[in-house]
Amino acid sequence: MEAFTTHTGRAVPLRRSNVDTDQIIPAHWLKKVTRDGFEDGLFEAWRKDASFVLNQPERQGATVLVAGPDFGTGSSREHAVWALQNYGFKAVISSRFADIFRGNSLKNGLLTVVLEQKIVDALMELAEKDPQAEITVDLVAREVRAEGVTASFELDENSRWRLLNGLDDISITLQNEADIAAYEAKRPVFKPQTIQI
Amino acid sequence: MGRTLAEKVWDDHVVRRAEGEPDLLFIDLHLLHEVTSPQAFDGLRKSGRKVRRLDLTIATEDHNTPTLDIDKPIADPVSRIQLETLRKNAADFGVRLHPLGDVEQGVVHVVGPQLGLTQPGTTVVCGDSHTSTHGAFGALAFGIGTSQVEHVLATQTLPMSRPKTMAITVNGELPDGVTAKDLILAIIAKIGTGGGQGYVLEYRGEAIEKLSMESRMTICNMSIEAGARAGMIAPDETTFAYLQGRPHAPEGADWDAAVEYWKTLRTDEDAEFDAEVVIDATELAPFVTWGTNPGQGAPLSASVPDPASYEDASERFAAEKALEYMGLEAGQPLRSIKVDTVFVGSCTNGRIEDLRAAAEIVKDRKVADGVRMLVVPGSARVGLQAVSEGLDVVFKDAGAEWRHAGCSMCLGMNPDQLAPGERSASTSNRNFEGRQGKGGRTHLVSPQVAAATAVLGHLASPADLSAADTRTPAGV
């Protein structure tokens, strides 16, 4: 995973709640067997509308998405995270994220930042008013900074440590191989098996 | 202090616990399908890792599979590549796979329970959010992303932060004609699509205890639509009776030992939930959605709500957008909404009881002119059972299309899709914009409402059919 320390970029204000994963990346894109090449599928249906915020020339190259509450609801497709990253987003700010989407984002180095709705509203207004306004998402200081806004955010220490160092989860877990083997040795015999080994 | 069902199952699976770290949980059963696994197997190859526990892993093909002409090569080349990729990965790594055409193939969440692999007190994961279905057995079951799929393949564990617990207590009995689907849609409308975020839900109370296993699966299946990764129901005699004799259920002394353990999987009297919601089952009625998220629903007897009636600005805006997308007017009676397509199937309502319920309603009746009704069994086995009961004939006689098993129109990854502007009554789980096909409009309903809607051509319940006297006497 790519490490995330701090990022500064222009923002895209997406004033919608309940942005579900079918909107972020429609199902027909899920037939791909790679982790890249999803950028054109991001918000595919909405992008057909010329006035959609992502189509505005002044939003090109923006890297921070500011969205309404309950972002990423619905399916477990990690493709939603890959699509946002392939497009160029480094961070998403919302007052509430769906659990699975959030987990997926943090495992890929896309920082999802939870802020109070009134702060999200302030960032949304700033981004709508001034497309050139920059937002800094600082994971080291656990802080979001923009013109007129300084807000700290929560992220559990373990996730933060993994993100700051770009650590591979599987390697970390395998350091506890002995614990896994010990657990396996004492599992009840009545537990189901898919094949006999 | 006592513990909840979820806490008991969680505690029994902790491999490692350390201050300031998520718990490392052991995973008893890992289900795979073609869509969310290719990148995970790629990751294993790149790092030279193997599948740690092939005996706890099983794969099937469901999302992309066609429901017609399954003996012919798959027409869509991209779908074909994805299915071939799963077949290659399963062969290379030694994973048990039930491909298209196999008698055990089907929607992954129908296959696990019917094989008896889903058992009380187990942890079940799959790269699919409707893994919550398996919680109906008192399993802790949740959807995961592809990075986690790779993690489970490599380690058979997942680092997870302990969730909070929420009791959804459903008192009283469901009135006649009100199903598990109506109940879960009403629960989601009450707590909202984010209401369960961060929680494991435990459904309990008289109405839940009286439900069959298949109805319990319908309830737990849609936990994710309330934002909860997992939903659970304490195992009881209904659960044990369902499991006994299934291919992977324990036998003999193992069965006795298992049942003894399973009986301990109940929330203790003195346990405390972090939140509780109480529902009165006796007040419920057939329930349908009118909007573009599963929380935007109302009783069938109601009308499309006026967005202006919402106090919360964001909900008001969401309702406005939903009505615009759905092509509906505020105040329009839900029963007046005409549909083009009816879909019966999916991991929510594609099991044999669902097909029986729909068949009973369309028997000796006809699907309305201009309406297409698609019946897609949740698994090949469900399809065979339905055929042995003659349900396929009932559906075909009524003018419905009888198909092979798969996810089908629930998410339209195969050719079964809505055309732009087309409207469906669907027994599936998501009414998101474009979910069933670009520009398609979805109303989520029970199998009974789906069948009645197919006959009358507009959203309707079976009670409306008796009033309209639509049944043709046999032989006429």
* Minimum CA–CA partner of B116 in chain A: A192
Given a cut of 50, is residue A147 above it in pLDDT?
Answer: yes
B74 touches chain A (CB under 8 A): no
pLDDT tens, residue by residue, A74-106:
999 999 999 999 999 999 999 999 999 999 999
What pLDDT does B225 receive? 98
CB contact under 8 A, A179 and B193: no
Percent of chain B having pLDDT more than 90? 97
What pLDDT does B474 receive? 52
Distance CA B50, CA A80 (A): 27
CB within 8 Å of chain B, chain A residues 20-49: 20, 22-23, 26-28, 30-35, 45
What pLDDT does B467 receive? 75
Given a cut of 80, is residue B469 above it in pLDDT?
Answer: no
Distance CA B339, CA B321 (A): 20
pLDDT class for B114, splitting at 50, 70, 90?
very high
Mean pLDDT of B60-85: 95
CB within 8 Å of chain A, chain B residues 430-469: 430, 432-435, 438
CB contact under 8 A, A17 and B117: no
For residue A18, list chain B residues with Cβ-Cβ distance below 8 A: 193-194, 293, 318
pLDDT tens, residue by residue, B167-192:
999 999 999 999 999 999 999 999 99
Give the minimum alpha-carbon distance from A32 to chain B in angstroms, rounded to a whole number. 7
pLDDT class for B466, splitting at 50, 70, 90?
confident
Is this complex scored with an ipTM above 0.90? yes
pLDDT class for A197, splitting at 50, 70, 90?
confident
Chain centroid offset of residue A190 CA: 39
Closest CA to B153 of B40, B47, B229: B40
Given a cut of 80, is residue B372 above it in pLDDT?
Answer: yes
What pLDDT does B475 receive? 44
pLDDT class for B313, splitting at 50, 70, 90?
confident
What pLDDT does B473 receive? 58
CB within 8 Å of chain A, chain B residues 151-180: 151, 154-157, 159, 161
pLDDT tens, residue by residue, A31-79:
999 999 999 999 999 999 999 999 999 999 999 999 999 999 999 999 9
Burial (CB count <10 Å: 0-12, 13-18, 19+), residue A177: exposed
Burial (CB count <10 Å: 0-12, 13-18, 19+), residue B319: buried
Given a cut of 80, is residue B446 above it in pLDDT?
Answer: yes
* Minimum CA–CA partner of B41 in chain A: A33
pLDDT class for B315, splitting at 50, 70, 90?
confident
In degrees and rounded to multiples of 5, residue A64 shows phi and psi of -120, 125
Give the minimum alpha-carbon distance from B436 to chain A in angstroms, rounded to a whole number. 9
